[in-house]
């Protein structure tokens, strides 16, 4: 019996070391093309790990998923529409506060996130001490410390990806509280969207938040279904 292929998406801020992580995972087994309909480069790679076939899709580097740029639209659409088994969020541990903004957005989307906590050596050189288990607990997603430039942490990352993809390790995610007034509107919208054809394709809370933000791409998607 052929093992099911696991698809993972690599997300992360520019300069987070995402390309290095991609290269460490896939080696020479890479294919470069373009995303459909646009000239933005699309990189894919494949590997085998513990008898599992893994497809790795390298998303464009972005700071957020607000869909203000083509790169953000591509990254977000792939996560929402293709529903990869795991989203690996490559985080620069030396700039944790800035990078975690994207992490939270991924978690709000309901993605099964594994945090690749890269550049731990840079963080240490700046005097930062990161409590990795506590970070994982607070975010509801497993975090793996790495130094991708030295190919440190890659086996641990792969093992964690496999555990999340196969349901052996929970990736609980998180919901940010927006305050009573906004939360009331979110609940109202969720009830309306529950009866709308096609809306079930998206996480209901995330969809409600995007509509409250007047996210034009999401409004367009909802009107199309």
Per-residue tokens: 84: 């990869």
Yes or no: say if 102 and 12 are a contact pair by the CB < 8 Å rule. yes
* Whether residue 3 has pLDDT greater than 70: no
Q: Which domains does the chain have, with CATH numbers?
A: 6-165 (3.40.50.300), 180-224 (no CATH)
The model's pTM is: 0.90
Q: List alpha helices for 80-153, DSSP H.
A: 96-108, 120-125, 132-139
User: Which of 22-26, 81-85, 106-110, 171-175 has the highest mean predicted lDDT (pLDDT)?
Assistant: 22-26
Q: Order of strands, edge to edge, in the sheet holding 113-118?
A: 30-34, 41-49, 52-58, 6-12, 86-92, 113-118, 143-145
The string of pLDDT tens digits covering residues 147-196 is 999 999 999 999 999 999 998 887 666 778 889 999 999 999 998 888 77
Q: Would you state the pLDDT for residue 35?
A: 94
Neighbours of 170 (CB within 10 A): 12
The string of pLDDT tens digits covering residues 54-105 is 999 999 999 998 878 999 999 999 998 899 999 999 999 999 999 999 999 9
Beta bridge partners of 89: 11, 115
The string of pLDDT tens digits covering residues 115-144 is 999 999 999 999 999 999 999 999 999 999
């Amino acid at each position: 019996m052929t093992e099911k292929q696991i698809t993972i998406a690599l997300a992360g801020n520019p300069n987070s070391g995402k390309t290095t992580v991609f290269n460490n995972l896939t080696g020479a087994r890479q294919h470069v093309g373009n995303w459909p309909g646009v000239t933005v480069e699309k990189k894919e790679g494949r590997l085998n790990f513990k008898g599992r076939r893994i497809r790795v899709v390298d998303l464009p580097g972005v700071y957020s998923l607000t869909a203000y740029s083509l790169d953000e639209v591509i990254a977000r659409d792939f996560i929402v529409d293709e529903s990869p088994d795991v989203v690996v969020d490559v985080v620069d541990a030396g700039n944790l506060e800035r990078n975690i903004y994207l992490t939270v957005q991924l978690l709000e989307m309901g993605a099964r996130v594994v945090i690749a906590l890269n550049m731990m050596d840079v963080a240490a050189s700046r005097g930062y001490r990161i409590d990795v288990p506590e970070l994982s607990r607070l975010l509801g997603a497993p975090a793996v410390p790495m130094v991708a430039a030295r190919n440190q942490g890659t086996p641990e990352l792969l093992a964690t990806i496999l555990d999340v993809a196969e349901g052996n390790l929970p990736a609980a995610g998180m919901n940010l509280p927006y305050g009573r007034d906004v939360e009331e509107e979110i609940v109202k919208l969720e009830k309306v969207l529950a009866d709308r054809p096609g809306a079930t394709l998206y996480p209901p809370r995330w969809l409600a938040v995007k509509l409250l933000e007047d996210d034009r791409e999401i409004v367009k998607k909802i009107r199309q279904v």
